[in-house]
Structure 1
Amino acid sequence: MYIFVPFAESTCGIEQFRCNNGKCIPNKWRCDRESDCADGSDEAPGLCMNVCNHFTFRCDNGEQCLPRSWICDGDPDCRDGSDELECSKQKSYS
């Protein structure tokens, strides 16, 4: 026999993110620019500001994550300038 409790707190696994509404989603879905939580909590600006994923570049100082399109664009966006390092190597191969 199962008892359904409509608003019970859910416990998510170690590889999961718990949405504000209690739903568990895979960690890799958090901050992927697609809302997977019905309440949008997996894409909240404060949560996603410094989260890196396969769409982003992590600055060498580890403090920032930027869109990959900002790498080697002639404008240093990382505080440490690491998004503009070694650009001549990258451009010579493209």
Structure 2
Amino acid sequence: MDQKKTDEILINETENGVLIILPERCKGCNFCIEFCPLHVLESTAELNNLGYIPPRLKPNSRCTTCGFCQWVCPDFAIYCIKNKTVP
């Protein structure tokens, strides 16, 4: 799993797609961390510009890009893009 930081956007490539975290939109509610069915997210050690602690993907985690995190995030700070397969 590869994590890239691009202009304050965390792009996490997974086996099933991409998990994108926008730390500057995060208000630290931790819903994504608490409700992730696979518990692959954790808090970072850094504050964003709003003074909140955004999430990050745990190292060596197995995110399936199920999308549950994006549905519980009230600030649209995290979302998934699944790999498309052609039948």
Name the TM-score, length of structure 1 as normaliser. 0.25
- TM (norm. structure 2) is 0.26
Per residue, is there more strand in 1 or in 2?
2
Which of the pair has more CA radius of gyration?
A: 1
